């Protein structure tokens, strides 16, 4: 009887692992994907308890699928070396903005992405202005502004999404126009985030050239939302992902950075917020682009 009960739980876990990959069909699947690592562990129990070889093979395959698609997010990556960014959900009532500003200065970054920039903490932009004079703030409400501050000059007008989702600003890096994006998208489900996700897609789909996105995605790195964002923008996650928010003591890696060639990411202190900050040293060109650029350079030199 106990074995049958445990096997029933394993089958439920296996089905939920598969459902968690269907985020493009319904946002609830992205929320289910949050617990994919735990579901994978439950499926491992089925490898032991399964009665038939076929059952054990199915559970083993689903366990491998669950573990492999989550573990890769936690692998370290080499530093990109092209652009260094700092991202943080400030928390709208944060009273330690001077400490946050000092941490940003100490991190020696090029671009700063901030979320929950509110009427109470927006003074941080003034504190950062001497080092990061190129700034823009998208005000979605008194508590949910999204901001970006850069050492590099803007190469055009920043864009705000129609709903709270993203702020995109083009900057010049070594003569190259690069889109830097600060993101704050609500939980996929049960939060009604359809308009927010569509607003983000409307902005991101129009951007041309290298794109670096950092912010509070309110979802784990192996979710469909992140996969869709990466596919839309030609980016990949910087790593390793680390917990940045503890929801009822549950560690959640939801503050993320994406860039064309990935990069190395580290976690900074909370500093008056419920979110930890993140710093990433990213690559603006992926491996294919780098080889293509090298080939074009060699051909040009050869032809001259």
How do residues 123-137 score in pLDDT, each as one tens digit? 999 999 999 999 999
Percent of the chain residues past pLDDT 90, beyond the cut: 82
Q: What is the mean pLDDT of residues 275-300?
A: 70
> Which letter does DSSP use for residue 93 in this model?
T
- Rounded to whole angstroms, how far apart are CA atoms 215 and 92? 15
Task: Please tell me whether the overall predicted TM-score, pTM, comes out greater than 0.85 for this model.
Answer: yes
Q: Who has greater pLDDT, 117 or 3?
A: 117
Residues 65, 36: Cα–Cα separation, whole Å = 10
Average pLDDT over residues 111-140: 98
Quote the DSSP letter at residue 282.
E
- Cβ atoms within 10 A of the Cβ of 186, count? 20
H-helix segments, the chain: 2-19, 27-33, 36-49, 53-71, 97-107, 123-128, 194-204, 224-233, 287-303
Query: pLDDT by residue (tens digit) across 172-224?
Result: 998 899 999 999 999 998 887 899 999 999 999 999 999 999 999 999 999 99
CA separation for the pair 102, 278 (Å, rounded)? 14
- Report, as an integer, the average pLDDT of 106-114: 98
Q: For 211-265, how does the pLDDT look when each residue is reduced to its tens digit (9 = 90+)?
A: 999 999 999 999 999 999 999 999 999 999 999 999 989 999 999 999 999 999 9
CA–CA separation, 116 vs 89, rounded Å?
6
Q: What is the mean pLDDT of residues 87-107?
A: 98
148-180 b/e (C-beta count within 10 Å ≥ 16 → b): bbbbbebbeebbbbebbbbbbbbbebeeeebbb
User: pLDDT tier at 3 (50, 70, 90 boundaries)?
Assistant: confident
pLDDT at 288 over 80: no
State the pLDDT at residue 296: 52
239 in helix, strand or coil? strand
| % of the chain residues with pLDDT over 70 | 94
Residue 192 is predicted with a pLDDT of 74
pLDDT for the residue numbered 61: 96
pLDDT of res. 290: 45
Least confident of 39-48, 118-127, 144-153: 39-48
Domains (range + CATH), the chain: 2-73 (no CATH), 76-289 (3.60.10.10)
More confident of the two residues 234 and 55: 234
The pLDDT score that the predictor gives to residue 297 is 43
- Give the integer Cα–Cα distance in Å for 283 and 260: 6
* Position 294 confidence tier, pLDDT thresholds 50, 70, 90: very low
Provide the pLDDT for residue 298.
47
Please say if the pLDDT value at position 79 is more than 90.
yes
């Amino acid at each position: 009887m106990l074995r049958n009960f445990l096997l029933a739980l394993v089958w439920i876990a296996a089905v939920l692992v598969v459902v968690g990959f269907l985020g493009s069909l319904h946002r609830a699947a992205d929320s289910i994907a949050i617990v994919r690592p735990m579901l994978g562990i439950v499926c491992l129990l089925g490898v032991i308890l399964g009665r038939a070889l076929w059952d054990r093979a199915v559970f083993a395959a689903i366990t491998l699928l669950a573990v492999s698609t989550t573990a890769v997010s936690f692998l370290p990556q080499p530093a990109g070396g092209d652009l260094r960014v700092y991202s943080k959900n400030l928390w709208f009532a944060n009273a330690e903005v001077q400490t946050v500003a000092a941490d940003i200065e100490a991190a020696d970054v090029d671009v700063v992405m901030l979320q929950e920039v509110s009427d109470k903490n927006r003074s941080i932009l003034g504190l950062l202005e001497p080092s990061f004079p190129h700034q823009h703030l998208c005000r979605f409400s008194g508590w949910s502004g999204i901001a970006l501050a850069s050492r590099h000059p803007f190469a055009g007008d920043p864009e705000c999404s129609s709903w709270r989702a993203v702020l995109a600003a083009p900057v010049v890096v070594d003569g190259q126009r690069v889109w830097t994006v600060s993101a704050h998208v609500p939980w996929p489900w049960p939060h009604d985030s359809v308009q927010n996700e569509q607003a983000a897609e409307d902005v991101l789909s129009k951007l041309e050239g290298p794109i670096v996105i950092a912010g509070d995605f309110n979802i784990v790195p192996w979710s469909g939302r992140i996969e869709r964002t990466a596919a839309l923008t030609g980016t990949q996650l910087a790593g390793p992902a680390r917990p940045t928010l503890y929801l009822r003591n549950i560690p959640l890696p939801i503050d993320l950075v994406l860039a064309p060639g990935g990069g190395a990411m580290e976690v900074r202190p909370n500093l008056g917020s419920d979110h930890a900050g993140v710093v990433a040293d990213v690559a603006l060109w992926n491996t294919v682009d780098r080889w293509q650029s090298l080939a074009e350079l060699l051909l040009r030199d050869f032809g001259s």
